[in-house]
């Protein structure tokens, strides 16, 4: 339970850093265990959400690292997990671009399996989206209101949703493992799949990226998105229109996250185009 927050007398500088992301760093912690330590400024609510979602997913048989306990080291809060070594699905795609289709199919099948479970008492998808839409920059109050009205009309759903499912949150070794449940929630599978499509569709590249590299990356991205969607629909029996209607609120909510300005501009163009169609 999150309430049992153990204080550890460990020196963070003595731990071996294994990886670093936007919200947390991962260190070797003990035999076959790692600790995910959240960066200063990350709200405790976010840590609670990850603990609750990862614990639920593990208990429901999803292939995800086992969460052991929440701890505090100095002023940092962390979650101790089973150590799963391997390469991310994104890393495989970069190393072997010809494997993009098989990687996309694996991604879709994993996502469909997650959605086959119930989300229980996790925070609800629509409440998270509504809050982030309200906090989204670059949209006018009228645009936010229209997006919220659109969201209100969508079905709530009660499935387990990852909230940030993409190839960099899948580790591959003897199989595929889903990681990073900080955005885990209870909601509609179509909304969660729409989030993945937005992540696969919109993303700015570094300014020094060559034209050749940009063309290649965009080709890989389009193939990944196309095969993922096709396989996900096949695995779930869902219609693409069900996912498409979630793209507007999901894209608007994405604006509230710490993403590059160029990516925000792409999202705003998508949002305003859809609002014009939705008028």
- Domain annotation covers residue 1: no
* Per-residue burial over 73-84, b = 16 or more CB atoms within 10 Å of its CB, e = otherwise: beebbbbbbebb
Instruction: Let me know whether 95 and 77 are in one domain.
Output: no
Span 129-138, pLDDT tens digits: 999 999 999 9
Least confident of 120-124, 182-186, 188-192, 275-279: 275-279
Is residue 242 within a helix (H) or strand (E), and if so which, with residue range? helix 240-244
Domain extent for 72: 6-82
Instruction: Let me know whether 145 and 199 are in one domain.
Output: yes
Question: Collapsing DSSP states into helix, strand and coil, what is residue 140?
Answer: coil
Instruction: Let me know whether 152 and 58 are in one domain.
Output: no
Q: What is the CATH number of the domain that holds 96?
A: 3.90.1200.10
Span 148-164, pLDDT tens digits: 999 999 999 999 999 99
In the chain, the number of structural domains is 2
Share of the chain above pLDDT 70, in %: 94
Hunting for tokens 């209101």 — which residue is that?
A: 145
Task: Find the DSSP H helices in 77-174.
Answer: 89-95, 100-115, 125-135, 141-152
Q: What is the CATH number of the domain that holds 25?
A: 3.30.200.20
Among candidate residues 94, 109, 118, 50, the one with its CA nearest the CA of residue 227: 109
- Domain annotation covers residue 240: yes
Question: In terms of DSSP bridges, do strands 24-30 and 17-20 run parallel, antiparallel, or are they unpaired?
Answer: antiparallel
């Amino acid at each position: 339970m999150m309430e049992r927050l153990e204080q550890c007398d460990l020196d963070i500088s003595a731990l071996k850093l294994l990886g670093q992301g936007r919200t947390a760093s991962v260190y070797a912690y003990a035999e076959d265990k790692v600790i995910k330590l959240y960066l200063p400024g990350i709200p405790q609510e976010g840590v609670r959400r990850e603990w609750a979602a990862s614990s639920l997913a593990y208990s429901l048989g999803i292939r995800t690292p086992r969460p052991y306990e929440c701890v505090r080291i100095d002023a940092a809060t962390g979650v101790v997990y089973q150590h799963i070594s391997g390469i991310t699905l994104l890393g495989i795609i970069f190393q072997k671009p010809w494997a993009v289709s098989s990687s996309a199919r694996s991604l879709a099948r994993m996502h469909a399996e997650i959605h086959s479970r119930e989300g229980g008492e996790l925070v609800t998808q629509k409440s998270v989206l509504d809050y982030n839409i309200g906090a989204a920059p670059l949209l006018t109050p009228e645009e936010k209101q229209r997006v919220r009205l659109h969201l209100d009309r969508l079905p709530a759903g009660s499935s387990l949703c990852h909230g940030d499912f993409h190839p960099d949150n899948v580790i591959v070794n003897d199989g595929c493992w889903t990681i990073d449940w900080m955005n885990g929630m209870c909601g509609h599978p179509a909304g969660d799949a729409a989030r993945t499509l937005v992540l696969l569709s919109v993303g700015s590249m570094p300014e020094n990226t060559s034209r050749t590299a940009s063309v290649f990356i965009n080709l890989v991205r389009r193939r990944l998105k196309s095969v993922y969607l096709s396989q996900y629909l096949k695995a779930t029996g869902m219609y693409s229109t069900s996912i498409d209607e979630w793209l507007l609120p999901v894209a608007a909510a994405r604006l509230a996250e710490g993403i590059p300005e160029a990516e925000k501009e792409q999202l705003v163009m998508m949002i305003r185009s859809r609002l014009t169609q939705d008028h």
